[in-house]
Amino acid sequence: MIRFECDYAEGAHPAIMDMLIKTNLEQTPGYGEDHYSDEARTLIRDLCKDDTLAVHFLVGGTQTNFTVISAALRPYEGVLCAETGHINVHETGAVEATGHKVLPLKSCDGKIDSAQIETAVKAQMDDEANEHLVKPGMVYISQPTECGTMYTCEELKAISEVCQRYDIYLFVDGARLGYALASPQNNITLKDMAELTDIFYIGGTKVGLLFGEAVVIRNEELKKNFRYMIKQKGGMLAKGRLLGVQFGELMKDGLYIKISEEAVRLAMQIKKAFLDKGIKFLYDSPTNQQFPILSTEQIGILKREFAFSDIKDMGNGLRAVRFCTSWATREGDVDKLLNEIAAL
């Protein structure tokens, strides 16, 4: 079975594993106060071109999301996001478990826009009984989104501006950020990310690491005592240098982009193969996730050799499914898939 069902089916990029082996028996202080973590922080600040940024390493995405959100919000505040947002649908209510309502906005492709945000914020402000409504305190978006789509720099700027105008934090979930940065359609740099958001993270789990998410904070208010939040929420790894070592290697010499580009290149081949067969897509994705709409028969054929995810019943015997590539996807496996698709 060749697995395209997610982008976390393997371990870590071999260069990462090499560094973990090489540094394995070294003694360092715990909890991220080691020199490897410091060096990785510096690399990230350099890539973002801002040496005042705070950088913290956490273990996983759900953990990062609820740690950031609960660090930012007051008890009566909630977080606006697309109805498809990971925090709204796939985290077992982790944000609500920290006391905050997720405020979903309509979305047909995983994205929301600045106008929707402004409308929602004003509706709450202007309501006579506004104290009876949850106050939006943060906007959460994903880049790329859970649907594989991406924000343009212009869209991100517009969202950033509306957040600033209404004094609301902007938080970007970058669990798959590499696959956006590496997309041919991308026009947002890490520097833009750091400038336009209050806080965002660079995902490692799905882009080359065993695990790990690098949180980057520009907003001074959010920088305060963030390590207390990490500890309380269970994200402070005892052997924190494991995150430093991994991110140090990933961020050095363009490895992050290089492996992401390869994953996107292979995803585009898969996309083209389906399009060539006249197959439609649930979302038009320029990143590593592809959502073709297949017939039961087509699914049956592809399932014999490939694992992929079921997403949604589209009616008429059709279902949307998901194929993911990743830094670990092998060209040969994709070739086999391309042949099967061509033969459908």
Build a one-symbol-per-residue string for 124-153: x at contacts with a copy of itself by CB under 8 A, - elsewhere: ----xx-xxxxx------------------
Number of Cβ atoms within 10 Å of the Cβ of 153? 14
In terms of CB distance, is 57 or 151 closer to a copy of itself?
57
Q: Which letter, b or e, does each residue of 283-314 get, where b requires 16 or more Cβ atoms within 10 Å of its Cβ?
A: bebbbbbbbbbbeeebbebbeeebebeebeee
Q: Is residue 223 within the footprint of a copy of itself (CB under 8 A)?
A: no
- Positions 249 through 268 that interact with a copy of itself (CB under 8 A): none
Q: Is residue 93 within the footprint of a copy of itself (CB under 8 A)?
A: yes
Q: Which of 211, 247, 256, 323 binds a copy of itself (CB under 8 A)?
A: 211
- In whole angstroms, the minimum distance from the beta carbon of 89 to a copy of itself comes to 7
Quote the CA–CA distance of 142 and 148 in Å, as a whole number: 10
Q: Which of 23, 189, 269, 295 binds a copy of itself (CB under 8 A)?
A: 23
Quote the CA–CA distance of 165 and 154 in Å, as a whole number: 16
Q: Which of 37, 53, 68, 78 binds a copy of itself (CB under 8 A)?
A: 78
Task: Classify 295 as helix, strand or coil.
Answer: strand
Closest CA to 114 of 154, 85, 83: 154
Closest CA to 208 of 325, 289, 299, 313: 325
- In whole angstroms, the minimum distance from the beta carbon of 149 to a copy of itself comes to 21
Q: What are the φ/ψ torsions at residue 298 (nearest 5 degrees)?
A: -60, -40
Quote the CA–CA distance of 80 and 142 in Å, as a whole number: 12
Build a one-symbol-per-residue string for 146-185: x at contacts with a copy of itself by CB under 8 A, - elsewhere: ----------------------------------------
Q: Is residue 45 within the footprint of a copy of itself (CB under 8 A)?
A: no
- In whole angstroms, the minimum distance from the beta carbon of 27 to a copy of itself comes to 4
Q: Is residue 119 within the footprint of a copy of itself (CB under 8 A)?
A: no
In terms of CB distance, is 154 or 331 closer to a copy of itself?
331
Phi-psi region of 282 (alpha: psi -120 to 50; beta: other; left: phi over 0): alpha
Task: Classify 81 as helix, strand or coil.
Answer: strand
Q: Which of 41, 111, 206, 322 binds a copy of itself (CB under 8 A)?
A: 206
Q: What are the φ/ψ torsions at residue 324 (nearest 5 degrees)?
A: -115, 140
Q: Is residue 26 within the footprint of a copy of itself (CB under 8 A)?
A: yes
- In whole angstroms, the minimum distance from the beta carbon of 256 to a copy of itself comes to 18
Q: Is residue 234 within the footprint of a copy of itself (CB under 8 A)?
A: yes
Q: Is residue 122 within the footprint of a copy of itself (CB under 8 A)?
A: no
